[in-house]
């Protein structure tokens, strides 16, 4: 679904329905089959920027008001009855947790990972 056709979903904070955000959205979308998720995709540079700056949201389609569903269907041409979620935004990229111990100098560190220094 193009961003321009999803105007009825914005602002997300004012939706009358169940909206999962951040980690909850990742879990909900992870449990759903890919075929049951319709994604709001950018249709220009500005919408691309807007969507990438937004926290990941998963909107439960069954919880949306009938009026909202009708508007979305007429604006986008997508029959949302076939889907479980609308995904807005994108998941954060997994990043490996790092500790300062990984960046120690092996020649000046003890086995516990704590640096030792001596003045000679």
| pLDDT of amino acid 90 | 80
pLDDT of residue 12 exceeding 60: yes
d(CA 25, CA 6): 18
**Rounded Cα distance, 90 and 39, in Å:** 9
Residue 20 · residue 58 · CB < 8 Å:
yes
**Of 23, 18, 22, nearest in space to 86 by CA:** 18
pLDDT of residue 72: 93
| pLDDT per residue as tens digits for the range 31-82 | 999 999 999 999 999 888 888 888 899 999 999 999 999 999 999 998 898 8
Q: Is the pLDDT of residue 5 over 80?
A: yes
Is the whole-model pTM more than 0.85? no
What pairs with residue 87 in β-bridges? 39, 58
pLDDT tens-digit map of 77-119: 988 988 999 999 987 665 555 556 566 666 665 555 454 444 5
CA distances from 19 to 48, 95, 108, 118 (A): 21, 25, 51, 57
């Amino acid at each position: 679904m193009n961003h321009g056709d999803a105007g009825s979903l914005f602002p997300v904070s004012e939706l009358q329905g169940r909206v999962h955000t951040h980690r909850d959205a990742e879990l909900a979308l992870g449990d759903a089959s890919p075929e049951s998720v319709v994604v709001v995709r950018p249709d220009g540079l500005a919408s691309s920027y807007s969507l990438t700056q937004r926290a990941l949201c998963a909107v439960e389609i069954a919880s949306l008001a009938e009026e909202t569903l009708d508007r979305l269907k007429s604006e986008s041409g997508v029959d949302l009855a076939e889907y479980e979620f609308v995904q807005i935004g994108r998941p954060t990229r997994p990043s490996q947790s790092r500790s300062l111990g990984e960046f120690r100098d092996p020649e000046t560190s003890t086995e516990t990972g704590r640096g030792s220094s001596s003045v000679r």
